């Protein structure tokens, strides 16, 4: 009876943790949805910049809304963050090494924390540069450039058990920041080339190492790859990535809209479903903006779609107790831990 009560409490704690993490993401998700209200096709040998995740048309649309209603709370929150980041000190490292999270102590990697904070700061500042219409916008751009330059001139290696994966879910905001800074005249060409070299020689290696994996790792690797190839104007590689995206939607999502590879994680499977869908939707957003094909609603030949998966997760969010993938208890659970391989 005691073990059963402990199992119930553990399941409840897992669900509470999921919703706490989800709520932290809501402001960012809302901003992305607002910026993603329009799309366009770009069938040329070079992409438009800024572009990809945020197109120039979308940026101008939001900027005009801000001019009309400068009291917008989301915009004020963005500028408050940007102001705080003006004194930010970046944390680049020559060897970005991230240890295995599910090791003995289950502690986050200090390297991951530094990269995540630097990427978020750079993206926030670059977004403020694009949306702000005051004389302060240049100061936001300068600080964002400082952070990107620091990583481009320092980091030469990504290592550790979780190095490739964590780099691919922490670094993408830096690529989005670089896109947003593409038209900033004071980011000189030499420094931009240095940043592109860092992407090509370091970050893309991590993305390529995991983007074909059949779980959330592959989703994060592909998102990073798509963002990088768009920024680098590698049209052929970008087209190959969109083909991989279609394969991911077809193979990772089942007929119910669920992710079998993430459901293996039982009690934490709902959170890992979100963790896979996050980069998958980001990849679809970039691909939709560039190709004008709707990667959210369109179905693959086997009937899978992102909408199907998002609807499924949304239903679980409304009714978390309906999550049926619980870890077995007792002896069955012991053998489950031994024989169930989770990448």
Instruction: Answer yes or no: is pLDDT of 6 > 60.
Output: no
156-203 pLDDT per residue, tens: 999 999 999 999 999 999 999 999 999 999 999 999 999 999 999 999
159 within 8 A of 199, measured Cβ to Cβ: no
Residue spans of the domains in the chain: they are 1-40+214-337, 72-210
Q: How many CB atoms lie within 10 A of CB 299?
A: 13
Instruction: Answer yes or no: is pLDDT of 91 > 70.
Output: yes
Task: Please give the mean pLDDT across all residues of the chain.
Answer: 88
For 40, half-sphere exposure in the C-beta direction (CA atoms, 13 angstrom radius) is: 12
Rounded Cα distance between 136 and 129, Å, is: 8
Alpha helices in 36-94 (DSSP H): 56-68, 73-85
When pLDDT is averaged across residues 311-334 and rounded to a whole number, the result is 86
Q: Residue for token digits 């963790």?
A: 275
Cis peptide before 50 (omega within 30 of 0): yes
For 150, the enclosing helix (H) or strand (E) is helix 137-154
Residue count (the chain): 343
Rounded Cα distance between 343 and 330, Å, is: 23
Instruction: Answer yes or no: is pLDDT of 68 > 90.
Output: no
Q: pLDDT tier at 67 (50, 70, 90 boundaries)?
A: confident
CATH architecture of the domain formed by 1-40+214-337: Alpha/alpha barrel (1.50)
Cα Rg, the chain, nearest whole Å: 21
What six digits make up the tokens of 23? 């709520």
Q: pLDDT tier at 34 (50, 70, 90 boundaries)?
A: very low
- Phi and psi at 40, nearest 5°, equal -150, 160
From its phi and psi, is residue 233 left (phi > 0), alpha (psi between -120 and 50) or beta? left
**Helix 269-291 and helix 235-252: axis angle, to 10°?**
140
pTM: 0.85
What six digits make up the tokens of 3? 């073990």
Chain centroid offset of residue 317 CA: 20
Q: Is 328 helix (H, G, I), strand (E, B) or coil?
A: coil
Inter-CA distances, 277 with 245, 252, 259, 280, Å: 12, 10, 9, 5
Rounded Cα distance between 308 and 302, Å, is: 12
Q: How many CB atoms lie within 10 A of CB 250?
A: 15
287 within 8 A of 242, measured Cβ to Cβ: yes
Chain centroid offset of residue 110 CA: 19
Relative to beta strand 95-97, strand 157-159 is: parallel
Residue 16 exposed, middle or buried by CB count within 10 Å (0-12, 13-18, 19+): exposed
115-147 pLDDT per residue, tens: 999 999 999 999 999 999 889 999 999 999 999
């Amino acid at each position: 009876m005691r073990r059963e009560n402990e199992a119930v409490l553990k399941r409840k704690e897992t669900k509470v943790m999921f919703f706490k993490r989800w709520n932290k993401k809501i402001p960012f998700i809302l901003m992305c949805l607002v910026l993603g209200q329009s799309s366009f096709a770009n069938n040329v040998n070079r992409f438009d910049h800024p572009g990809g995740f945020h197109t120039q048309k979308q940026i101008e649309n939001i900027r005009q809304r801000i001019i009309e209603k400068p009291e917008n709370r989301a915009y004020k929150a963005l500028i408050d963050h940007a102001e705080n980041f003006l004194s930010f000190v970046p944390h680049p490292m020559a060897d970005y090494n991230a240890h295995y999270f599910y090791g003995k102590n289950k502690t986050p990697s200090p390297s991951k924390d530094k990269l995540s904070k630097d990427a978020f700061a750079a993206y926030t500042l670059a977004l403020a540069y694009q949306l702000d219409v005051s004389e302060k916008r240049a100061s936001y751009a300068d600080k964002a450039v400082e952070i990107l330059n620091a990583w481009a001139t320092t980091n030469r290696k990504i290592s550790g058990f979780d190095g490739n994966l964590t780099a691919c879910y922490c670094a993408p905001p830096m690529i989005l920041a670089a896109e947003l800074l593409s038209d900033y005249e004071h980011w000189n060409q030499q420094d931009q080339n240095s940043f592109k070299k860092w992407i090509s020689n370091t970050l893309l290696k991590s993305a390529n190492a995991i983007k074909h994996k059949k779980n959330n790792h592959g989703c994060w690797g592909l998102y990073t790859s798509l963002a990088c190839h768009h920024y680098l104007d590698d049209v052929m590689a970008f087209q190959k990535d969109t083909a991989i995206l279609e394969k991911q939607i077809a193979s990772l999502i089942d007929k119910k809209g669920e992710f079998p590879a993430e459901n293996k994680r039982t009690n934490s499977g709902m959170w890992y479903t979100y963790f896979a869908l996050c980069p998958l939707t980001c990849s679809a957003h970039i691909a939709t903006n560039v190709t004008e094909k709707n990667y959210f609603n369109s179905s693959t030949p086997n009937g899978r779609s992102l909408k199907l998966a998002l609807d499924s997760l949304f239903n679980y969010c409304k009714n978390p107790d309906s999550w049926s993938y619980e870890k077995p208890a007792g002896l069955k659970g012991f053998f489950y831990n031994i024989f169930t391989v989770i990448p």
